[in-house]
Chain A
Amino acid sequence: MATVNATRMELTRLKGKLVTATRGHKLLKDKRDELMRQFLDLVRVNRALREKVEEGLKNANRNFVLARATMSDEAVSVAFMAPKQEVSVEVDTKNVMSVNVPQFEIKTRTSDENDIYGYGYAFTSSDLDDAVHSLATLQQDMLKLAEVEKSCQLMAAEIEKTRRRVNALEHVMIPEYQANIKYITMKLDEAERSSQIRLMKVKDMMLEEAHHYSEKQNAAPLKD
């Protein structure tokens, strides 16, 4: 507000800016609201999945500890030395309100689900099989968790950014434009009134010069 040129051109420019800012503010606000709605849905899913995965991992870890208790360290190491199965992930992106979130799809090297047991059964305990199985059942959920949790993180960041922008527009830029427009309008009006008065004054003075009204007026009462 400090230095504003009080000109008509500046006024037109500012009015244009105000219109843009107002429209941008409305759009960003809508974006924020929709993002927030989707985020809250997703974060509930995230929470449920995480609780499920953490519970599952707790069980799996317990099974692994049990399995190790009955086997020597070497036997465990040997059993896991050469895994048969191999996984890879295909990553797709989904656009949610201009946020790119990943979509994961798992691809296993072999389609036989029993290939997770990458060891001969002769030197391992059945506890180990249980442990591996309990982990394998979790795989899909863990993948889903990764997808959902990453999406939540990305959306949270985007919401924060959008909220900042909305607030900046609403509380700083738009009021500033409005104040400047008001200032310029008043300044221009004032200038117009001032020039009007000056013209009237000049007209009076010129008429006075030509007809000498005041002298006649002063003289008139004496005649009566």
Chain B
Amino acid sequence: MYKIAVMGDRDSVYGFATLGMDTFPFTDAEEAGRKLRELAENEYAIVYITEALADKMEAQIDHYREQMLPAIILIPGVSGNTGKGINAVKHSVEQAVGSDIIFGN
């Protein structure tokens, strides 16, 4: 049975605890990267990471991009939407098609 984790600054993630997800408040990218690796090895199927935190640990996130599990999904935190999440989708389109034909801007 797999679990769901949420990583990010404390204010952005604590609410998810009530839904029964495991929250891991981090602001330091290096610690978060270590934790991410630990989570990936320990039956976490989905890891939601706030955009602000993900910005600082792209290399670690990219590492899991082509593996089936875990699915690492960027979510906006309290500090606002940086557009990084939608950019990740754009990146997929560019990788597959060669140029961005869906978003067109």
A binding-site residues for B, Cβ under 8 Å: 36, 39-40, 43-44, 46-47, 50-51, 53-54, 57-58, 60-61, 64-65, 68, 76, 80, 83, 85-91, 93, 100-102, 104, 107-109, 116-118, 131-132, 135-136, 139, 142-143, 145-147, 149-150, 152-157, 159-160, 163
**In the complex, number of A-B residue pairs with CB atoms less than 8 Å apart:** 143
Residue in B16, B65, B102 with the greatest tally of chain A CB atoms within 10 Å: B16
Which residues of A sit under 8 angstroms from B20, Cβ to Cβ?
A: 83, 85-87, 108-109, 116
Taking beta carbons and an 8 Å cutoff, which residues of B are in contact with A? 1-4, 11-12, 14-21, 45-46, 48, 65-66, 68-69, 71, 73, 75-78, 81, 85-86, 88-89, 92-93, 95-98, 102-103
Cα distance A102–B89 when bound, in Å? 17
Distance in angstroms between the alpha carbons of A153 and B98 in the assembled complex: 14
Q: How far is the CA of A76 from the CA of B98 in the complex (A)?
A: 48
Instruction: Say whether B65 contacts A153, CB under 8 Å.
Output: yes
Q: Report the 4 A-B pairs with minimum CB-CB distance, sorted nearest first.
A: A150-B71, A85-B20, A87-B20, A156-B96
Q: Within the assembled complex, what's the spacing in Å between the Cα atoms of A76 and B4?
A: 22
A57 touches B2 (CB 8 A): no
In the bound complex, how far is the Cα of B13 from the Cα of A35, in angstroms? 36
Name, among B12, B18, B45, the residue most crowded by chain A CB atoms within 10 Å (CB to CB).
B18
Complexed CA–CA distance, A152 and B12 (Å): 26
User: In the assembly, what is the distance between CA of A16 and CA of B49, in Å?
Assistant: 52
Contacts A61-B78, A89-B45 given: A40-B102 contact, CB under 8 Å?
yes
Q: Is the interface of B mostly helix, strand, loop or mixed?
A: mixed
Chain B residues, Cβ within 8 Å of A155: 96
Minimum C-beta distance from B27 to chain A (A): 17
In the assembled complex, 23 residue pairs joining A and B whose CB atoms fall closer than 8 Å, in A order, are A36-B97, A43-B92, A47-B86, A61-B78, A64-B78, A65-B11, A68-B11, A80-B18, A86-B20, A89-B2, A89-B3, A90-B1, A100-B68, A102-B45, A107-B1, A117-B18, A136-B18, A139-B19, A146-B48, A150-B73, A154-B66, A155-B96, A157-B65
Q: Provide the bound-state CA to CA distance between A49 and B19, in Å.
A: 20
Indicate if the CB atoms of A143 and B46 lie closer than 8 Å.
yes
Known contacts A91-B69, A153-B92; A54 and B18 CB within 8 A of each other: no
A147 to B73, CA, bound (A): 9
State A17–B73 Cα separation when bound (angstroms): 44
Binding site of A, secondary structure by majority: helix, strand, loop or mixed? helix
Residues of A within 8 A of B89 (CB): 43, 46-47, 50, 149, 152
Q: How far is the CA of A113 from the CA of B101 in the complex (A)?
A: 41
Q: A145 CA to B76 CA in the complex, in Å?
A: 14
Q: A39-B96, A47-B103, A155-B96 are in contact. Are A87 and B4 (CB under 8 A)?
A: yes
Q: Are A146 and B65 in contact (CB under 8 A)?
A: no
B14's contact among A80, A91, A100, by CB below 8 Å, is which?
A80
Chain A, residue nearest B92 (CB): A156
Chain B residues within an 8 Å CB radius of A90:
1-2
Known: A36-B97, A87-B20. A58 touches B81 (CB 8 A): yes
A118 to B92 CA separation, bound complex (whole angstroms): 38
